[in-house]
């Protein structure tokens, strides 16, 4: 349930309610608006204590969140969540950051080479996997911790926040140490222990939708992270499986307006994995912006034929540069900024 405090309540009044929630064995989830603070008390049988809180003079009223995803819902928080990253980058505001980089971190030199291309054209977040969830166990699995060290180095050198994927609970502390955002890949969206581990650490999380995940399941996975106290979650649509085989996946642009109505969390779009064909990525990237993306994730590689993963969908630097110029123009028309 949601406990809405009286307008302009003081820190002490807030503390009194929080203490009561904790005493009853629940975790308080606080959302502070300009004048009004609301506190989520979520968990089994929480509603049983409705009367207890209703009678507190610090409390204005109690309401219930009907949706199964509670903290992720617009009922809990009306304003959009803005995730703040190093170097003043934000996801969820009017500016639409472009997250770009190689699919996998291949070497320090190649990562720096790509990072520079990303930055020069206006990309602001550097991506690259060190632990790669490959369909085949015989293909490149990523550089592991060594790759994360390269990522941390490149991020510092280029002054860009970084994102890389954690595939298991044991990898979470490493990602948390070396990167600014932890990515949960499509294949791990229902790895609940992994989600909880990401919720227990402080770095923002980029939660990719699974290829057969409904919007509701996606939000419930986000809820696993939020419920542990990490409210910096970004959702990422990256294509779902349909009967179509002419493209790698089917980028579900429908999901964008729908999910934005349901949740306050920022929505990132990944047209690279979504369509999987280099030539068509720019078209879909522009469609992502038009559909309301809060950030766009792109894979790029200067020599895609040599890329150790996802070469066929990686943009060439020239294509990326041209796309960035187009996105800037389009963003203006949409009253946004790149
Ligand atoms: C990736 O970002 O390189 C990746 C593996 O993404 P996904 O989990 O969406 O397939
Ligand atoms: Mn990839």
Distance between CA atoms of residues 233 and 228, nearest Å: 12
Distance between CA atoms of residues 177 and 179, nearest Å: 6
Q: What is the mean pLDDT of residues 71-91?
A: 96
Q: In sequence order, which residues have a C-beta less than 8 Å from that of residue 151 and are 6 or more positions away?
A: 105, 111, 126, 128, 130, 162, 164, 178, 179
Q: What is the mean pLDDT of residues 264-283?
A: 98
Which pTM value belongs to this model?
Answer: 0.96
For residue 104, how far is its CA from the centre of ligand 2 (angstroms)?
7
| Statement: residue 34 has pLDDT above 90 | no
For residue 134, how far is its CA from the centre of ligand 2 (angstroms)?
9
Q: Which two tokens stand for residue 181?
A: 């955002």
Which residue(s) pair with 162 in the sheet? 126
Q: What is the mean pLDDT of residues 181-190?
A: 98
- Crossing angle for the helix pair 108-120 and 145-158, nearest 10 degrees? 40
Q: Decide if 62 contacts 56 (C-beta within 8 A).
A: no
How many Cα neighbours within 13 Å face the side chain of 34?
2
Q: Which two tokens stand for residue 175?
A: 């990602």
Distance between CA atoms of residues 120 and 35, nearest Å: 41
Nearest-CA residue for atom 1 of ligand 1: 103
Q: What is the model's pLDDT at position 223?
A: 97
Nearest-CA residue for atom 4 of ligand 1: 185
Helix (H) or strand (E) holding 175: helix 172-178
Question: How many percent of the chain have pLDDT more than 90?
Answer: 98
The residues whose Cβ lies within 5 A of ligand 2, an ion, are 103, 310
Q: Is 208 in the pocket of ligand 1 (CB under 6 A)?
A: yes
Q: Cα 111 from chain centroid? A: 22
Q: Is 70 in the pocket of ligand 1 (CB under 6 A)?
A: no
Which residue(s) pair with 5 in the sheet? 59
pLDDT range class, residue 93, cuts 50, 70, 90: very high
In three-state secondary structure terms, 307 is: coil
Q: What is the model's pLDDT at position 33?
A: 86
Q: Decide if 205 contacts 232 (C-beta within 8 A).
A: yes
Closest alpha carbon to 248 in 103, 100, 99: 103
Q: What is the mean pLDDT of residues 212-226?
A: 98
CA-CA-CA-CA dihedral for 100, 101, 103, 106, to nearest 10: -170
The pick from 103, 268, 307 for probing ligand 1's pocket by mutation, whose C-beta has the most ligand atoms within 8 angstroms, reads: 103
Set out the domains of the chain in order of their start, with CATH numbers. 2-63 (3.30.70.1140), 83-333 (3.20.20.70)
Atom of ligand 1 nearest to the CA of 133: 5
Q: Is 185 in the pocket of ligand 1 (CB under 6 A)?
A: yes
- pLDDT tens-place string over residues 127-171: 999 999 999 999 999 999 999 999 999 999 999 999 999 999 999
Nearest-CA residue for atom 9 of ligand 1: 186
Burial (CB count within 10 angstroms: exposed 0-12, middle 13-18, buried 19+), residue 231: buried
For residue 309, how far is its CA from the centre of ligand 2 (angstroms)?
7
Q: Is 278 in the pocket of ligand 1 (CB under 6 A)?
A: no
Q: Is 129 in the pocket of ligand 1 (CB under 6 A)?
A: yes
């Amino acid at each position: 349930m949601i406990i809405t405090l009286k307008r302009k309540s003081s820190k002490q009044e807030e503390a009194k309610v929080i203490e009561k929630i904790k005493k009853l064995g629940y975790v308080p989830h606080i959302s502070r608006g300009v004048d009004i603070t609301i506190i989520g008390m979520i968990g089994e049988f929480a509603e049983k204590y409705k009367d207890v809180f209703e009678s507190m003079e610090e409390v204005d009223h109690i309401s219930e969140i009907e949706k199964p995803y509670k903290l992720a819902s617009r009922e809990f928080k009306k304003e959009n969540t803005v995730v703040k990253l190093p170097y003043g980058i934000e996801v969820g505001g009017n500016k639409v950051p472009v997250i770009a980089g190689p699919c996998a971190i291949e070497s320090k030199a190649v990562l720096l080479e790509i990072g520079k291309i990303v930055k020069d054209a206006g990309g602001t977040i550097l991506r690259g996997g060190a632990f790669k969830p490959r369909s085949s166990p015989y293909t490149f699995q990523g550089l592991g911790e060594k790759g994360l060290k390269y990522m941390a180095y490149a991020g510092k050198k280029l002054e860009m926040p970084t994102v890389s994927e954690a595939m298991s609970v044991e990898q979470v502390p490493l990602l948390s140490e070396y990167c600014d955002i932890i990515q949960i890949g499509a294949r791990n969206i229902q790895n609940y222990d992994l989600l909880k581990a990401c919720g227990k650490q402080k770095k923002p999380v980029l939660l990719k939708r699974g290829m057969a995940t409904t919007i509701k399941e996606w939000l419930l996975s986000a809820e696993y992270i939020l419920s542990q106290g990490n409210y910096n979650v970004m959702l990422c649509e990256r294509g779902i499986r349909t009967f179509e085989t002419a493209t790698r996946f089917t980028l579900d642009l429908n999901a964008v307006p729908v999910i934005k109505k349901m949740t306050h969390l920022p929505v990132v779009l990944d047209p690279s994995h979504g369509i999987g064909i280099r030539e068509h990525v720019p078209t879909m990237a522009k469609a992502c912006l038009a559909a309301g993306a809060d950030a766009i994730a792109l894979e790029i590689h200067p020599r895609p034929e040599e890329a150790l993963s996802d070469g066929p969908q990686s943009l060439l630097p020239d294509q990326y540069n041209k796309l960035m110029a187009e996105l800037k123009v389009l963003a203006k028309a949409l009253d946004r900024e790149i």
